[in-house]
Amino acid sequence: MKFLLFITIVLIIILLFYLLKYNKVNILMTIILTYFIINFILNPTLCIDASINGAKLFFTSLFPSLFPFIIITNILVAYDGVNIYSTFLGPLISRPLGLPKEASFALIISMLCGYPLGAKYSCELYDLGNINSSELSKLISIASNSSPLFLIGSVGTSMLGNTRAGYLLLFSNYLSCVFMAIILKHKYKEPVSKLKVKTIKASKNNNLGMVLKSSIENAIATTLNIGSYVVIFSVILAIIKNNVVFNIVLNKIYMESSLPKNALSGIILGLIEVTNGCYLLSKGNINYVLSLCFISFLCAFSGLAIIAQIHSFTHKYKEISIIKYVIRKVIQGVISFIITLVSLLFLNDRTLFTFSNKTPLTISFKSYIPILLLLFIYFAHYFSKKLFDVS
């Protein structure tokens, strides 16, 4: 039986490699979607329950915090607030990061609204000639963050039941962006294109009633869009969790890492969709230090669902590599993980972070030595090139 399963996995890998190598994307997607359709037919109860759980997660954790915040942010944008911020804070924010002043618009939007608006406005700045391709590549890596209300409200308050934990996640995620900016920093240059005939500006209509109406409509569309992603990926993740191959891989990782299975499931599935991953980790029987650190990693990485949204804005630019973006987000996730871990070591965890459903820290780190060595080699190579011009 094991041999047959092994052969099946090998054949699946060979098929995927062949389809990707020869750019048979349509065939690949047809196979994947057919698999999900079959699961819908064979396991309707599982899919319906997963859809209901996704909707509950959205309406209890995301909607109450995101909807009013998006309305207020939309009103701020309508009254040119972000451009006002950019005027005063642009040089202060962008120049130290090696970016032009105009890039501060996307940075501020990202800090206020989170994924994927930072990438959206970064692409608009590039289309208008305010930044060049290298600056766009850097900007979409930095201006791609979880929103403060998602971290503080949805994850910290609703999922973890501790607002202070949300503030720690916010601190770690934003500081990891600063570190990424330092790693990617290059000497500031004027944009290649000088045709700055347009800028991103708010509407001239300052009628409060009209602004409020359009802000609410936009907030409804945005939150429903987010909710749709949460629901559909809740179903997809439920199908994956009940897959035989996934459970075998999960058991193998469990035996090597000694992490609880529900925590491992949250981490792996969170790489696909961050909201469900954070929820699984918050409810898992895992030490709260590791729980927060892994949630911090997932929020900084963002998950494949959000990366797909980012790619919907950047795919038209051949000079922008989505693979490079994913690698950078992984590095940012690792940095955020480390910042959260170090921060917790210096905090009074008994008074600041108390989770009754978390277990003591009993994790063997021997299995992580190869990963740490690879990270050390990478950063050693990077800094040797920067400091000593080693090729």
Q: Which residues contact 105 (CB under 8 A, 6 or more apart)?
A: 82, 83, 86, 90, 121, 125, 200
Judge if pTM exceeds 0.75: no
pLDDT in tens, the chain (391 residues): 555 555 665 666 676 666 655 566 677 778 778 888 888 888 889 888 988 988 888 887 778 767 887 788 778 778 877 677 777 777 777 777 777 777 887 888 788 777 777 888 788 778 877 788 888 888 888 888 888 888 888 888 888 888 888 999 999 998 998 888 888 865 444 444 443 434 445 555 567 888 888 889 888 887 888 788 888 888 888 888 887 767 777 777 777 666 777 778 888 888 888 888 888 888 877 778 888 999 999 999 988 888 888 888 888 888 888 888 888 899 999 999 999 988 888 775 544 444 444 444 444 444 444 455 455 555 555 544 544 443 3
Residue 202 has phi, psi (to 5 degrees) of: -80, 165
Burial class of residue 61 (count of CB atoms within 10 Å of its CB; 0-12, 13-18, 19+): buried
Helix/strand/coil for 195? coil
CB 285 within 8 A of CB 358: yes
- How many Å from the N-terminal Cα to the C-terminal Cα in the chain? 49
Residue listed under structure tokens 């970064």? 122
CA-to-CA separations, 78 to 89, 204, 334, in angstroms, rounded: 19, 8, 36
Query: Tokens 């209901």, residue?
Result: 52
